[in-house]
């Protein structure tokens, strides 16, 4: 694994490290889950490169070269899905974010890169 990006969550203070397995994002700091520092938890991606659409369970979604991560003000994980030219968000909790309803643990397209 080669770490590519780092974000710190405000809720737990635990670091999120984007370790590129090429198609997966790991680990998570989901406040509802019990995690051990140093362990790796997959929060998105199946290990197969691709795009599975918006609104699917994040752990069942396909990513294609996730390159950067951030945690927004609500604790959602924002992912730069580089080869899909998309910005995607994994909802930390169910609610309305970025102008749309979202379900906790699901991934949503919130932007598209235009190059």
pLDDT at 94 > cutoff 90: yes
CB contact set of 51 (below 8 Å; sequence gap of 6+): 62, 63, 64, 81, 84, 86
CATH code of the domain containing 9: 2.40.10.500
- Provide the domain count of the chain: 1
Tell me, what's the pLDDT at 66? 82
Condensed to tens digits (0 to 9), the pLDDT of residues 16-68 reads 554 443 344 444 444 445 556 666 667 788 878 889 889 999 988 888 888 88
| pLDDT range class, residue 90, cuts 50, 70, 90 | very high
What percent of the chain is modeled with pLDDT above 70?
62
Domain enclosing residue 21, as ranges: 2-112
Q: 100 or 3: whose pLDDT is higher?
A: 100
Q: How far apart are CA 26 and CA 45, in angstroms?
A: 9
Q: 69 or 12: whose pLDDT is higher?
A: 69
Tell me, what's the pLDDT at 21? 39
């Amino acid at each position: 694994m080669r770490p590519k990006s780092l974000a710190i969550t405000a809720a737990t203070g635990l670091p999120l490290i984007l370790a590129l397995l090429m198609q997966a994002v790991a680990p998570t700091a989901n406040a509802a889950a019990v995690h051990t520092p140093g362990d790796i938890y997959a929060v998105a991606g199946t290990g197969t490169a691709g795009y599975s659409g918006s609104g699917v369970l994040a752990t069942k979604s396909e990513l294609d070269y996730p390159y950067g991560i951030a945690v927004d003000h609500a604790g959602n994980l924002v992912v730069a899905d580089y080869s899909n030219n998309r910005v995607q968000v994994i909802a930390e909790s169910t609610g309305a974010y970025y102008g749309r309803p979202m379900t906790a643990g699901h991934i949503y397209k919130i932007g598209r890169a235009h190059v």
